[in-house]
Amino acid sequence: MAYNIPEEFIDQVISNNDIVDVISDHIKLSKKGRNYFGLCPFHGENTPSFSVAPDKQIFHCFGCGKGGNVIKFVMEMESLSFVEAIKHLANKSGEALPEEWQKQESQSNYSSEQQNIIQAYEWSTKLFHHVLRHTSDGKDGLNYLKNRGFELETIEHFQLGYSPQKDQFLSSFLKGKGFELDSLTEYGLLTKRDGNSYHDRFIGRIIFPIKNHQGKVVAFGGRSTQPEMEPKYLNSPESQLFQKGQILYNFHDARKHVQKNNREIVLFEGNLDVIKAYQAGVKNAVATLGTSFSEYQAAILNRYADHVIICFDGDKAGKNASYKTAKILKKAGLQVRIANIPNEMDPDDYIDAYGAEKFKKQIIQAAESFVSFYLNHLKKQYNLSLDHERVTYIEKALDIIAQVENSVERDFYLKELEDSFDLYRDTLEKEIEKRRRIKEQTKDKDKTVNNNNATKHEWNKNHKILSAYQNAERYLIAHMLRDPYITERVQDRLGSSFNIQEHQVLVTYLYAYYEEGNAADTSKFIDRLPDENLQNLVSKLALLPLNEALTDHELEDYFFAITRESEIDHEVRELEKMLKQAEKENDPKSAARIGMKIIELKKKSKQSKQ
């Protein structure tokens, strides 16, 4: 790797960050045999194909092909450069990056323009926070927050700020810092009037910095402090850095608390609710950003959590939004509960009225199941005093209850129907049995179709028939990754004379790695490779099932398959040159003889691939 950080320090960081622990902070892993498996965080899938090998300290997805060591995982998951990933892991394991490398210029996943915008947002965040906390211009904003029950410690944690009642306060500041103001209007920091004058977008508003999932401020939310100021809430416009449907407020900080809370996240509608909940001790809290909850956001939550509690406003609009959001989360495979806030209050107001402990115990911990919530939500859509509407409700309720897999839970909901509508229990159970029988028949039919399709797909994608020499090269390299002695024998016998170009390059790096005196360590070797495709290839080959020991006979078989293919290919290439010359000299007899020889050799090559 072309970085100035010493290899010894990088190896130390890798050794002190177990890959299973690091990846478990992001996705749920289950142990099967020697390895761990989970749903790949880099592409959508329903069946786990993401494998983590603790003995080799590597990961590999057999679906999308991504693989590597703990550094590569953090780079991919957090969208960090190599140096940033090293710093991240060093901080996680309590190691201090040597000062001489702290300021090293790192590659970035952002364009130069985007890096410039992020810096502008960082400076703006600091400026607005300073105004709020330490100037007379911010007094109105600070008093507003204090009156709403926000403590100074909370204001500091979320770096809340205030944009004063000055039309060009921010634009003048950023211009003085050397920023080009035109691009700042595109990313929502400023507005432009009359084609040539720049003005502040969030004048007279509380500023809520919005971070992306890497912790970079990429947008602002603004909240008016005066009743006459409209709109009450104002977000930065969407840009290349900020899409409302792809970011969750406070997600970067909240995910650190998800593992400590049984892989559970609490989802709110607004940033004020998140901040007040955090202050009340609910730190695994995130919020949507003034738009409907999206499948993309559900997929993000599914990477880190198993359970989501929806805590939206207690009014009719909040209940409807809870229902729609719960359906999206259920579709993503998450367990969902819904918190019920009484008297049409919002979470912020409830905490102010009843306190933190009551909010945690009577709202969050008492959140009801999705089925219970849905039945209550459904009930309100019918006039149950009318027979035909009552029957319609019961039919739909049975449809929902029939989908519940847990028999005890099903019994609980049936008891409620039985008591509420004075129904015979036998009748209800027969209806449930009928619905579940139809569901199972449909599921079996779908499963057969899906299995057939999946089998075809997997055969085409992952189970392509490989030739003898291809398999020989793959398994030989897998053994070489485990054993320097085998590598030495291969180097003496074959050098880089593998038939597949990627394999030629890979073994060259492997020879150099062992010649430096390094022990067999797949994770550390991956770190030495400069190319992502090679890293993915190594993680894939390292997970091939091998016998513990490679016999001399097996090794010779590998050598034979590889060299035989190489010799045939070389002979075919030479004959093809001769064929062209014969055709050029208008010698059809020689051309025919050479052509037959080429066909014969290609047949031999084809047979070796079977």
Highest mean pLDDT among 105-109, 127-131, 241-245, 472-476: 127-131
Q: How confident is the model at residue 572 (pLDDT cuts 50, 70, 90)?
A: low
- The tokens of 189 are what? 């920091």
Rounded to the nearest angstrom, the gap between the alpha carbon of residue 166 and the centroid of all alpha carbons in its chain is 41
**Residues 6+ positions from 346 with CB-CB distance below 8 Å:** 269, 270, 273, 313, 314, 318
pLDDT of the residue at 221: 95
On whether both 123 and 156 belong to a single domain, the answer is yes
Task: Give the range of the structural domain holding residue 546, as residue numbers without chain letter.
Answer: 468-604
The average confidence (pLDDT) of the chain is: 86
Got the DSSP string for 385-417?
TSHHHHHHHHHHHHHHHTT---HHHHHHHHHHH
Q: Which two tokens stand for residue 542?
A: 């390292």
In-domain check, residue 162: yes
Residue 459 belongs to some domain of the structure: no
User: Is 240 within a domain?
Assistant: no
- Reported as a single tens digit per residue, the pLDDT across 84-110 is 888 889 988 888 776 666 555 444 567
Over residues 394-421, mean pLDDT = 91
Q: Name the packing angle between helices 468-482 and 532-542 (round to 10°).
A: 90
The CATH code of the domain that includes 498 is 1.10.860.10
Asked if 312 and 356 sit in the same domain, the reply is yes
Residue 592's pLDDT is: 72
144 and 220 belong to one structural domain: yes
348 to 269, 270, 311, 324, 557: CA distances (angstroms): 11, 9, 11, 22, 71
In one-letter notation, the amino acid at residue 57 is Q
**Based on the number of CB atoms within 10 Å of its own CB, is 535 exposed (0-12), middle (13-18) or buried (19 or more)?**
buried
Query: Where is average pLDDT lowest: 48-57, 297-306, 412-421?
Result: 297-306
Within a domain: 609: no
% of the chain at pLDDT higher than 70 = 89
- Kindly state whether residue 295 falls inside one of the protein's structural domains: yes
- Are 23 and 29 a contacting pair, CB within 8 Å? yes
Q: How many CA atoms lie within 13 A of 533 on its CB side?
A: 5
Cis peptide before 588 (omega within 30 of 0): no
Please name the amino acid found at residue 83. Answer: V
Is 585 found in the same domain as 474? yes
Same domain, 599 and 474: yes
The pLDDT value given to residue 512:
87
Question: Do 402 and 357 have their domain in common?
Answer: no
Last residue of a domain, one of 188, 204, 235: 235
Give pLDDT, residue 571.
Answer: 64
Determine the Cα angle at 346 with ends 341 and 351, to 5°: 80
pLDDT at site 1: 46
Query: Which contiguous run of DSSP H or E holds residue 333?
Result: none
The region of weakest confidence among 89-103, 193-207, 281-295, 546-560 is 89-103
Residues 79 and 36 in one domain: yes
Specify if 246 maps to a domain.
no
Compute CA distances 235 → 27, 145, 181, 208, 244, whole Å: 31, 18, 19, 9, 9
Mention every residue, 6+ apart, whose C-beta is less than 8 A from residue 37. 29, 30, 48, 49, 50, 51, 52
CA atoms within 13 A on the CB side of 188: 21
Instruction: From residue 346, give the alpha-carbon distance in Å to each of 154, 341, 377.
Output: 19, 7, 18
Same domain, 222 and 258: no
Span 134-153, average pLDDT: 95
Would you say 298 and 329 are in contact if contact means Cβ atoms under 8 Å apart? yes
442-471 pLDDT tens trace: 655 555 554 444 434 433 444 456 777 888
Specify whether 365 is located in the same domain as 387.
Answer: no
334-368 tens-digit pLDDT: 999 999 999 999 999 999 999 999 999 999 999 99
Of 68, 103, 138, the residue that ends a domain is 103
How many domains would you assign to the chain?
5
Which tokens in the block code for residue 475? 């398994």
Examine the domain organization and report whether 227 and 258 are in the same domain: no
Q: Is residue 393 very low, low, confident or very high in pLDDT (cuts 50, 70, 90)?
A: very high
Domain of 332, CATH number, reads 3.40.1360.10
Task: Check residue 461 and give its pLDDT.
Answer: 44
Higher local confidence (pLDDT), 70 or 561: 70
Q: Are residues 190 and 147 in the same domain?
A: yes
Q: What is the mean pLDDT of residues 508-534?
A: 89
User: Could you tell me the CATH number of the domain that includes residue 50?
Assistant: 3.90.580.10
> Using CA atoms, how far apart are residues 469 and 165, in angstroms rounded to an integer?
74
Say if 569 falls within a structural domain.
yes
SS (H, E, C) 429-496: HHHHHHHHHHHHHHHHHHHHHHHHHHHHHHHHHCCCCCCHHHHHHHHHHHHHHHCHHHHHHHHHHCCC
Question: With b meaning 16 or more CB within 10 Å and e meaning fewer, what string describes 360-383?
Answer: beebbeebebbbbbbbebbeeebe
487 and 600, same structural domain?
yes
What is the mean pLDDT of the segment spanning 230-248? 92
Decide if 258 is inside a domain: yes
Instruction: Give the three-class secondary structure for 217.
Output: strand
